[in-house]
């Protein structure tokens, strides 16, 4: 019997688990393959919904489901946190047991390092977790005038367009409340551009001009001075705020540090094409957990999940593992209430910004439903493939 262990049951982990369960249905039934998903949380989150909660486009309750409900038949869930992975001896240690594996997929995502910026936790808000979003929604509802800074503390972070979506939604939100002229909106970015790609940055800056949104580029946040209500960058430059909405610093999972194979930020070094952990043909990492220079996005995690699942299936059936990842990913980006674009890219294609439309906006709002039925798809698993 071959054991496939997936550590982390978020977007990428569940996509891989369900794809493997469908493709290896027979082998799992006959006892030739055991498919394990090791996930510590009982909740599976649809994270794009966190921003939508803030603007009443989604309810908090519709951003999550019980982990068990998103898994296809054939996946065995171990509801425990892994504390160490031993790549040499092919074992995973959890709170309660040691689990041997033949194939491994790491999908433990990114974590937030609030401690890296003194004052950040105490003095700022964000929309990068369910609780933070619910809290921000209530703060915004009471906000009547002043300066709001939407900023990114450091690169990389999840869903590169999300902070741009936030400023565009804030613009329309205050216009609808009839107080847009009393609110100053500023977008703060650590790079000298508004987005890592120059073409998309130019489009965003043009839209800022049209909508009266200010920008503060190349601002690398070091501390938050909560007495003076100022953000301070690495060169001592200061920016005042009445409300700061700051994407927290991201880094890899501490499991990766504890296991000794992460880079200095805790990301897992993988081959860009095969997604193999360097030097370990039977072990892969996908999604936000990797060190790849691609967007940390659910679409990327999903595309990578299909590639590693296919490679594992090819290996189990005795052939060569030939499927490779082409770097593709995409995100629907809201540009205001009632309009959105789609940005797509790959290793060989620079990001493309598709013309804004109501259709993209509509798809973004209903994507939650598509997600529960296509990525986290126990019901349609086997039908939509």
C-alpha 62/C-alpha 68 separation (Å) is: 16
Footprint of ligand FAD on 326-365 (CB under 6 A): 331-332
Of residues 103, 42, 100, the one with CA closest to residue 69: 42
| 162 interacts with ligand FAD by CB under 6 A | yes
- Minimum CB separation of residue 181 from ligand FAD in Å reads 28
How remote is the C-alpha of 238 from its chain's centroid? 29
| 130 interacts with ligand FAD by CB under 6 A | no
| 38 interacts with ligand FAD by CB under 6 A | yes
Which member of 29, 30, 32, 41 binds ligand FAD (CB under 6 A)?
41
> Is there a contact between 313 and 327 (Cβ–Cβ < 8 Å)?
no
Give the DSSP letter string of 221-281: EEEEETTTTEEEETTS-EEE-SEEEEEPPEE--HHHHHHT-S-TTSPBPB-TTT-EETTEE
- Minimum CB separation of residue 227 from ligand FAD in Å reads 29
When the beta carbons of 108 and 201 are compared against ligand FAD, the nearer one is 108
| 158 interacts with ligand FAD by CB under 6 A | yes
- Minimum CB separation of residue 110 from ligand FAD in Å reads 7
How remote is the C-alpha of 225 from its chain's centroid? 28
Q: Tell me which stretch binds ligand FAD (CB under 6 A): 32-40, 54-62, 314-322, 337-345.
A: 32-40
Give the DSSP letter string of 328-347: -EEEEEEEETTEEEEEEE-S
Of residues 162, 161, 125, the one with CA closest to residue 143: 125
Footprint of ligand FAD on 53-92 (CB under 6 A): 81-82
Give the DSSP letter string of 53-113: HHTTSS-GGGGEEEGGGG--TTEEEE-S-EEEEETTTTEEEESS-EEE-SEEEE----EE-
| 288 interacts with ligand FAD by CB under 6 A | yes
When the beta carbons of 11 and 153 are compared against ligand FAD, the nearer one is 11
Containing 11, the helix (H) or strand (E) segment is helix 11-23
- Minimum CB separation of residue 52 from ligand FAD in Å reads 9
| 40 interacts with ligand FAD by CB under 6 A | yes
- Minimum CB separation of residue 128 from ligand FAD in Å reads 5
Q: Tell me which stretch binds ligand FAD (CB under 6 A): 46-54, 177-185, 229-237, 313-321.
A: 46-54
Containing 42, the helix (H) or strand (E) segment is none
When the beta carbons of 10 and 74 are compared against ligand FAD, the nearer one is 10
| 11 interacts with ligand FAD by CB under 6 A | yes
> Is there a contact between 49 and 129 (Cβ–Cβ < 8 Å)?
no
Q: Which residues bind ligand FAD (CB under 6 A)?
A: 7-13, 38-41, 47-48, 50-51, 81-82, 107-109, 127-128, 158-159, 162, 253, 255, 287-289, 296-299, 301, 331-332
């Amino acid at each position: 019997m071959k054991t496939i262990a997936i550590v982390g049951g978020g977007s990428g982990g569940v996509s891989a688990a369900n794809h493997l369960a469908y493709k290896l249905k027979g082998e799992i039934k006959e006892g030739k393959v055991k498919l394990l998903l090791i996930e510590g949380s009982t909740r599976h989150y649809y994270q794009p919904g966190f921003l939508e909660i803030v603007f009443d486009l989604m309810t908090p309750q519709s951003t999550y489901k019980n982990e068990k409900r998103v898994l296809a038949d054939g996946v065995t869930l171990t509801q425990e946190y892994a504390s160490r992975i031993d790549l040499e001896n092919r074992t995973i240690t959890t709170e309660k047991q040691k689990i041997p594996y033949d194939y491994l997929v790491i999908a433990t995502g990114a974590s937030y390092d609030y401690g890296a910026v003194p004052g950040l936790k105490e003095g700022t808000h964000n929309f990068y977790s369910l609780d933070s979003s619910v809290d921000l929604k209530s703060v915004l509802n009471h906000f009547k005038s002043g300066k709001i800074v939407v900023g990114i503390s450091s690169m990389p972070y999840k869903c590169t367009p999300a902070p741009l979506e936030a400023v565009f939604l804030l613009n329309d939100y205050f216009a609808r409340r009839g107080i847009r002229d009393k609110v100053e909106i500023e977008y703060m970015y650590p790079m000298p551009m508004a987005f890592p790609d120059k073409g998309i940055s130019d489009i965003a800056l043009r839209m800022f001009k049209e909508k009266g949104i200010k920008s503060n580029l190349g601002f690398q946040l070091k501390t938050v001075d909560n007495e003076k209500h100022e953000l301070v960058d690495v060169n001592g430059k200061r920016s005042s705020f009445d409300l700061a909405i700051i994407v927290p610093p991201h880094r890899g999972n501490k499991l990766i540090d504890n296991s000794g194979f992460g880079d200095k930020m805790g990301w897992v070094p993988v081959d860009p094409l095969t997604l193999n952990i360097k030097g370990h043909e039977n072990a892969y990492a996908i999604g936000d957990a990797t060190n790849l220079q691609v967007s940390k996005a659910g679409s990327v995690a999903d595309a990578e999940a299909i590639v590693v699942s296919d490679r594992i299936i090819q290996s189990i059936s005795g052939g060569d593992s030939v499927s490779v990842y082409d770097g593709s990913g995409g995100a629907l980006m809201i540009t205001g209430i009632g309009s959105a674009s789609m940005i797509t890219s790959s290793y060989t294609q620079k990001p493309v910004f598709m013309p804004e439309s109501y259709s993209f906006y509509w798809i973004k709002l209903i994507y939650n439903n598509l997600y529960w039925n296509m990525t986290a798809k126990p019901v349609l698993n086997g039908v939509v493939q």
